[in-house]
Amino acid sequence: MTKSGIDLARVREDFPILAEQVRGRCVAYLDNAATTQKPRAVLDALNHYYAHDNANVHRAVHVLAERATRAFEGARGVAQQFVNARDPREIVFVRGATEAVNLVAATFGRTHVTEGDEIVLSVMEHHSNIVPWQMLCTEKRARLVVVPVSDAGELDLAAYERLLSPRTKLVAMTHVSNALGTVTPIARMIELAHARGVPVLVDGAQAAPHVAIDVQALDCDFYVLSGHKVYGPTGIGVLYGKLAHLEAMPPWQGGGDMILSVTFEKTLYNTPPHKFEAGTPDIAGAVGLAAAFRYVTGLGLAHIAAHERDLVEYASRELARVRGLRLIGTAPDKAGVVSFVLDDVHPHDIATIVDQAGVAIRSGHHCAQPLMERFGVAATARASFALYNTRDDVDRLVAAIADVRKVFG
């Protein structure tokens, strides 16, 4: 039992892949910011759905279809509870955070942004929260305004406040940086934006597995997350949007289930959330995601956060002792990520060598090239933590980096 109250031995037994042999040893999986592993509860939920309930939703009246529809809409209710949305109609199932941002950009953004307007985001955004807005700005002849970060990787809140202007039509901001682990002061940022009548989209892909989300307390206009980052299946995610926004937004894609009636003369669109869920959805994915949300909630986000905070602090201390190693991003409020560079060794070489010891880390620009440029590096090595990681995983990483030093001197 850890100080945080998590029974690590029991939790690790819930994740079959952690027993997988890599290079002759059980894997030390430290690439959780890219995707998390899945507990048996999720695997069992997926198998049960396909073995017992598989049918299409919202269409037929036979028993299997009724079961599938109950499971799918039940998953929506679980997602509503996970982010504390006021109404299940505010939960739209999407393929992930990327699709959610694109959906908002193509509907809400295209409706509200005009020539000369500005969209505010930060230098630490993932490409998925940059490129859709760039595309919109190109179309509308608007422009992006970028909030800087300090040398420690903290968002410059004073600069953010100065950059909000009468031309600002939207703020799109990360909750937790995928490349640095920095937790942004998102509640205060939303408050400052709303004081000027500016709506806010929050990219919560990296926050969802680490911190409790309460969209009502945040009062954000949109919140997006990906299921595979929070122990759920790939290809499923959630867009939360305030109901008033979703009702006013035009549909994004046309097809089945997003309509009330269709003639060649006119189509009447369905109400939210179905208006934004054209075609057959990832039913099993939603069921699996609901199982993941239940699993995380059962362990307690506060316990998970405390455990991961200990791992980040321990890893930061141990890595800082390595000769020639420099930590990138040292903000005091971090969640789940430690990024670093080692002398002139390319991060890909670091990741390749530590993999020989069965340690899985990420290397590259982490879909955050503007942030890499800000810190004067082309790439970093990144160790990212989840609820099932241990200090032993960190020790194995540090020992493997010693092997990197042997190779490169």
Kindly state the tokens that stand for 383: 């160790």
Helix (H, G, I), strand (E, B) or coil at 127: helix
Cα distance between residue 403 and residue 358, in whole Å = 13
* Contact predicate 160/174, CB 8 Å: no
DSSP string spanning 71-107? HHHHHHHHHHHHHT-S-GGGEEEESSHHHHHHHHIII
Q: Are strands 21-22 and 267-269 parallel, antiparallel or unpaired?
A: unpaired
- 170 φ/ψ angles, rounded to the nearest 5 degrees: -165, 145
What are the two backbone dihedrals, phi and then psi, of residue 182, each rounded to the nearest 5 degrees? -60, 130
- Among residues 393, 390, 385, which one has the least CA distance to residue 206? 385
Cβ distance 91 to 105 under 8 Å?
Answer: no
Under 8 Å between Cβ of 370 and 36: no
Q: State the Cα–Cα distance between residues 288 and 232, nearest whole angstrom.
A: 6
350: buried, middle or exposed (CB in 10 Å: 19+, 13-18, 0-12)?
buried
**Residue 368 phi, psi dihedral angles, 5° rounding:** -145, 55
367 is catalytic: yes
Among candidate residues 26, 137, 220, 367, the one labeled active-site is 367
In this structure, are strands 237-241 and 28-29 parallel, antiparallel, or unpaired? Answer: unpaired
What is the Cα Rg of the chain in Å?
Answer: 22
Enter the tokens of residue 356: 């020989």
What is the distance between the alpha carbons of residues 122 and 337, in angstroms, rounded to a whole number?
18
CA atoms within 13 A on the CB side of 130: 14
Instruction: Give dist(CA 126, CA 174) in Å, integer.
Output: 8
Helix (H/G/I), strand (E/B), else coil: 110: helix
Work out the end-to-end distance of the chain between its first and last CA atoms, rounded to an integer number of angstroms: 39
Task: Give catalytic residue positions.
Answer: 367
